[in-house]
Amino acid sequence: MPPARRFIGARDGRIERGRRSNPGSHRRSHGFSRWKRRNIPRPFRRVRSTAAPARVHGGVAIAAAVLLRSRESGRGDSAIIPASPDSALRAAQAVTIRQLPDTLVNQIAAGEVIERPASVVKELVENALDAGARRIDIDLEEGGVRLIRVRDDGGGIEPDELPLAVSRHATSKIASLDDLEGVATLGFRGEALPSIASVSRFALISRRAGGGHAAMLEVDGGRVGTVVPKAHPPGTTVEVRDLFFNVPARRKFLKAERTELGHIEEWLRQLALARPDVELRVSHNGKPSRRWKGEGDLLSEVRLHEALGEEFARNALRVDHHGPAPAAGAAQGLRLHGWIAQPSYNRASADQQYLYVNGRAVRDRSIAHAVKQAYADVLFHGRQPAYVLFLELDPRRVDVNVHPAKHEVRFRDARLIHDFVYRTLEQALAETRAGAAVGVAAPAQAPMQAVAGAASAAAPAYRWGAPQAPLGLQVAEARAGYAALYGPAAVAAAPQPTPALPANEDPSLPPLGYAIAQLHGIYILAESADGLIVVDMHAAHERIQYEKLKAAHDGEGLRSQPLLVPATLAVSEREAEAAEREADTLAALGFEVTRSGPQSLTLRSVPALLAHGDVEALLRDVLADLREHGESRRVAAARDELLATMACHGAVRANRRLTLPEMNALLREMEATERSGQCNHGRPTWARFSLAEIDRWFLRGR
């Protein structure tokens, strides 16, 4: 048997080491073609060594250095480099450290900041907004690959500052670490323009708003020209031609014109939602393709209609909630405002989820998680909620310098924010009682419903003239609890729209009206003030039962039940630490857990209601949540799931004949129950057909 032979393989600059016995020539070539099949440039494929095992490790690091150098110098295919100690030593002596040329530095930065034409548009438009532009024109050719021209009417740049604008780490937006910690502009890194200019044919033309002359500076693939006079109105134009013309590797990753244009449009939509006060005009290949008119009003709902469509707008609940001013010194409290879609309007993917932190569009896992939790009890399984949410807080409480393209932020008190978002939205969704919300076929005159904060309990979003108390006890209690949590400052001063009731509406009728019949043993038909209400009686009853069960169990608290024999759980050290640290939280959830070793826990009591389920798996999930989000709703969610099943079994079945008084009782309970607009699975429980709509069916003019 031939001796075992070592080899070191390297791909993508990563070095792998392996041992293979019996490397006959057949096997060897097989190994080689395996790398080849993965389409890896040959010089990085493989480094072979027959060195003594003890020396190989050092050889690995040096061989890597050799590889990088051969890649840099463009030496090609012949480079299968022996990593023997001798050659490695020689290679090590040849390594010198040198400063990279500016253009290359900028191109490396461009690798992070400029992924595709949409990233260029983003950076340029953000610069225009930072310069106070009221109107921005964006001309594109071939999906932005051939040309991106962004012209604004903002403050402009002095001619002698043009070279600074395209040099790295030069910015007018911050001057000190202190500024960085409270950034209020969209840009601050001073690297967008030099990065873009290093990978395109670039021109910057500008004139200060206060007067002076306009000038232009061209940069060609990083080579900076000289400033020359040029005619231009006050403001700035940036022209970016032939993106990535000098970076073929990047150019290869660009997609079809349509796709790149789609990315730009999606980004502009995101921006348009946040800045309705700015006019945006887009043209593609010489033709106007989109115009976002400036609205003047930052809370304008026109943009919402334009960006996300009528359907979203019709189903949107307006949210506006101020948190209390934080006690310790910080100047400003939290505010969450925007629109969330009613649960019955939901999506297959997360394509209508817009989140802004201090006006900047970001992705944030923790907030996305908080929103998902708020919807957990009302959304159809596997569906995604839709929302446009603006979180505002003191810039000092959020770090925006986390991601080169500024897509992410880091909160100084992430737990508090998670909790704030969750509670605000959970409360807003609890208000989706049947009759109160917009409904499936909403009247056009009340497209938006305001969801206000705690103390406005006496003024429901919709004006009800019902003799029945519109607010069920649970609702009032939940509000009281909420007020206690956040204090009186939690009172959101959201404007209360009171949609005008149609003239013929009878104020003595309750929102869901009075039952007139049962249809096919499934639906209740009711006559309401403005038409016909159809209720899915099983779905509605199920939700009512469910909310009652939850309220009953909430009142009791989570009882804990001791295990007959304590269970020992093998966990990771990090889980064990989390369990120790969060013992009080776990106790409040009904778990009595102690650490019994570096990697083991002893479980003595579990939540009583869930004692028959897989409590160990539940505990692990809870620990994972506590580590990641600082809180866990798993126990509540597991409990809710159980209660939902019980509610489903307890709810009226199809084909049960109901008497009119029974049906009316159900309608009145719906009006008083939180979340009764959807069943436990997130399906709508009722629909309204207005008389006007029915008249239209029969072409009946009134």
Ligand X SMILES: Nc1ncnc2c1ncn2[C@@H]1O[C@H](COP(=O)(O)OP(=O)(O)O)[C@@H](O)[C@H]1O
Q: For binding to Mg ion (CB under 5 A), which residues are involved?
A: 127, 187, 192
Binding flag, residue 156, ligand X (CB under 6 A) = yes
Alpha-carbon 85 to chain mean position: 51
397 residue type, one letter? R
Which residue in the set 106, 171, 344, 545 belongs to the binding site for ligand X (CB under 6 A)?
171
> The tokens of 328 are what?
């310790």
What is the rounded radius of gyration, in angstroms, for the C-alpha atoms of the chain? 32
List, as one string, the DSSP characters of 369-410.
Answer: HHHHHHHTTTSPTT-B--EEEEEE--GGGEE-TTSTT----E
Rounded to the nearest 5 degrees, what angle is found at the Cα of 630, between the Cα atoms of 627 and 632?
Answer: 90
- Least distance in angstroms from the C-beta of 194 to Mg ion: 10
Binding flag, residue 439, ligand X (CB under 6 A) = no
With b meaning 16 or more CB within 10 Å and e meaning fewer, what string describes 245-275? ebbeebeeebeebeebbebbbebbbbbbbbb
| Stretch of residues binding ligand X (CB under 6 A), selected from 41-49, 181-189, 419-427, 560-568 | 181-189
CA 376 – CA 389 distance, rounded (Å): 18
Nearer to Mg ion, 144 or 187 (CB): 187
> The tokens of 666 are what?
């159900």
Give the one entry of ligand X, Mg ion, none that residue 157 binds, where binding means its C-beta sits below a cut-off of 5 to 8 angstroms depending on kind: ligand X
Give the one entry of Mg ion, ligand X, none that residue 589 binds, where binding means its C-beta sits below a cut-off of 5 to 8 angstroms depending on kind: none
Residue with tokens 């029974």: 662
CB-nearest residue to ligand X: 187
Total chain residues near ligand X (CB under 6 A) = 21
Closest CA relative to residue 212, chosen from 242, 189, 180, 234? 234
CA 341 – CA 597 distance, rounded (Å): 48
Give the one entry of Mg ion, ligand X, none that residue 152 binds, where binding means its C-beta sits below a cut-off of 5 to 8 angstroms depending on kind: ligand X
Q: Which of residues 234-273 bind ligand X (CB under 6 A)?
A: 236
Which residue in the set 120, 192, 442, 569 belongs to the binding site for ligand X (CB under 6 A)?
192
149 residue type, one letter? R
Give the one entry of ligand X, Mg ion, none that residue 120 binds, where binding means its C-beta sits below a cut-off of 5 to 8 angstroms depending on kind: none
Hey, is 651 helix, strand or coil? coil
The 10 Å Cβ neighbour count of residue 373 is 22
Binding flag, residue 103, ligand X (CB under 6 A) = no
- Least distance in angstroms from the C-beta of 216 to ligand X: 14
Which residue in the set 117, 154, 460, 472 belongs to the binding site for ligand X (CB under 6 A)?
154
| Stretch of residues binding ligand X (CB under 6 A), selected from 54-62, 120-128, 472-480, 509-517 | 120-128
- Least distance in angstroms from the C-beta of 172 to ligand X: 3
Binding flag, residue 165, ligand X (CB under 6 A) = yes
Contact 539, 679 (CB under 8 A): yes
Contact 463, 499 (CB under 8 A): yes
Give the one entry of ligand X, Mg ion, none that residue 189 binds, where binding means its C-beta sits below a cut-off of 5 to 8 angstroms depending on kind: ligand X
Binding flag, residue 157, ligand X (CB under 6 A) = yes
Residue with tokens 């979203």: 312
Give the one entry of Mg ion, ligand X, none that residue 156 binds, where binding means its C-beta sits below a cut-off of 5 to 8 angstroms depending on kind: ligand X
Give the one entry of Mg ion, ligand X, none that residue 531 binds, where binding means its C-beta sits below a cut-off of 5 to 8 angstroms depending on kind: none
Binding flag, residue 202, ligand X (CB under 6 A) = no
Nearer to Mg ion, 127 or 632 (CB): 127
CB-nearest residue to Mg ion: 187
CA 123 – CA 195 distance, rounded (Å): 10
Contact 548, 591 (CB under 8 A): no
Which residue in the set 31, 85, 190, 613 belongs to the binding site for ligand X (CB under 6 A)?
190
Q: Compute φ and ψ for 81, nearest 5 degrees.
A: -100, 125
CA 92 – CA 41 distance, rounded (Å): 23
Nearer to ligand X, 192 or 549 (CB): 192
Q: Which residues contact 214 (CB under 8 A, 6 or more apart)?
A: 159, 205, 206, 207, 229, 230, 231, 232, 233
| Stretch of residues binding ligand X (CB under 6 A), selected from 127-135, 267-275, 350-358, 543-551 | 127-135
- Least distance in angstroms from the C-beta of 240 to Mg ion: 13
Binding flag, residue 198, ligand X (CB under 6 A) = no
Judged by the rule CB under 6 A, the positions of this chain that interact with ligand X are 123, 127-128, 131, 152, 154-157, 165, 171-173, 187-193, 236
